[in-house]
Amino acid sequence: MTIALDELNSLSPERTRELLRSCCGASRWVDGMNARRPFASVDELFRAADDVWASLGPDDWHEAFAHHPRIGEQRSAAAQDARAAAWSAGEQADVASANGSLHNELASVNRTYEQRFGHIYIVCAAGKSAGELLAIARDRLGNAPDVELRVAAEEQRKITRLRLQKLFTEST
């Protein structure tokens, strides 16, 4: 479903929440975006998305992370709607075609990452190969937990931006 900005501005709050939750699973982000409507332009919407995200903290970030499947998997811990699930699959398309050995390495690094940091490995995977995603994860394992949480939050912000763009430019 592609949507025009004036349509987003005129939808019911409930329907807007559904669309925005496809972009980011943090409830306070969704509510903050909903409260800022109407948006005068898509650029204003993107600025609002970044501003609202910047106002959130670790609990919100973890809530958003839970709405993503692990790299190399299809299901997230928290329920995703069909649009978000399709976007996740598309963002990880290069991983789906990776060989079994690479899938096993990704699964192993996912487990190690979660044990070290307490949340799934979040990365804006769009356009990245399975090998690149594996290398990024291994590199990030060297981060201090507080640093890595901020890195993961920034990756979530990038994913949210990408999905907002898709909301206005793609059909699903």
The 3-class SS string of 110-151 reads HHHHHHHHCCCCCCCCCCCCHHHHHHHHHHHCCCCHHHHHHH
pLDDT score recorded for residue 65: 95
User: Tens digit of pLDDT for each residue in 124-157?
Assistant: 988 888 899 999 999 999 999 999 999 999 999 9
pLDDT score recorded for residue 96: 59
Distance (Å, rounded) from C-alpha 124 to C-alpha 120? 13
Angle at 73 between CA 155 and CA 150, to 5 degrees: 20
pLDDT score recorded for residue 40: 95
Distance (Å, rounded) from C-alpha 20 to C-alpha 27? 10
Distance (Å, rounded) from C-alpha 31 to C-alpha 122? 22
Q: Which two tokens stand for residue 6?
A: 């004036």
Residue 99 DSSP one-character state: -
- Tell me the pTM: 0.86
- Asked if 65 and 29 touch (Cβ cutoff 8 Å), the reply is no
Residue 69 in 3-state DSSP? strand
Residue 76 in 3-state DSSP? strand
pLDDT score recorded for residue 126: 87
Q: Domain spans of the chain?
A: 5-169
pLDDT score recorded for residue 34: 95
pLDDT score recorded for residue 169: 77
Query: Which CATH architecture group holds 5-169?
Result: Orthogonal Bundle (1.10)
Q: Catalytic residue among 62, 68, 103, 119, which? A: 68
For the chain, residues with pLDDT lower than 70 are: 1-2, 72-99, 170-172
Identity of the amino acid at 61: W
Distance (Å, rounded) from C-alpha 50 to C-alpha 126? 19
Distance (Å, rounded) from C-alpha 32 to C-alpha 143? 30
Q: Does the annotation count 67 as an active-site position?
A: no
Distances (CA, A) of 62 to 25, 38, 57: 9, 28, 9
pLDDT score recorded for residue 121: 94
Longest dimension (CA), the chain: 49
pLDDT score recorded for residue 172: 39
